Amino acid sequence: PNQMEAIRANAAITLWQFHGDETPEQCRRLAGGLPWIKAARIGQSFNFPEFSLQYGDAVGFLLDALVDGYGGSGTAFNWNLIPNTWANVNAHRVVLSGGLNSHNVGEAIARLHPCAVDISSGVEIRKGVKDPALIRQFVDAVRSADQTKPTSHS
């Protein structure tokens, strides 16, 4: 919390993204009135309705794979675990993450219609080193998928 207060005081933060085990109350308090996104680690028993009720104040839900550690594992989760009705209602605030790359992001966008995608290891040539060519391929795949993405989820 003290580190976040120092960051807030010295940077033009407009949005917080929480990836830990923060409670909804902690997210609200730590965000200090700014909008925030809550990351969820999706496994077989993840309860989407309960999560969206608990973290209903979040402007976004970053959906990632349930793995040891947080983020950057290159592991995708089973997108079929996301109930269609939940995905349709929440698409405007879903940020899809976890194992995305230029080969699967088009399918992910077509199936889930997220408002954004998050990429890390899918554009790396080795841990922590991004490849400009892989980034271009990924962006091209996202743009292509966005051209065919429906604008309404009703």
Which CATH number does the domain housing residue 131 bear?
A: 3.20.20.70
Structure token pair of residue 47: 């309860």
Between CA 62 and CA 36 the distance in angstroms is 11
Whether 154 maps to a domain, the answer reads: no
Does a structural domain hold residue 37? Answer: yes
pLDDT of 142 > 90? The answer is yes
Predicted TM-score (pTM) of this structure = 0.85
Average per-residue pLDDT for the chain = 89
Domain that holds residue 65: 2-148
Query: Residue 23 above 80 pLDDT?
Result: yes
Instruction: Please state the domain count of the chain.
Output: 1
* Antiparallel, parallel or unpaired: β 36-42 and 60-65: parallel
Q: Is the pLDDT of residue 102 over 50?
A: yes
Is the pLDDT confidence value at 55 over 60?
yes
Q: Does any domain span residue 93?
A: yes
pLDDT of residue 72: 56
125 domain-assigned: yes
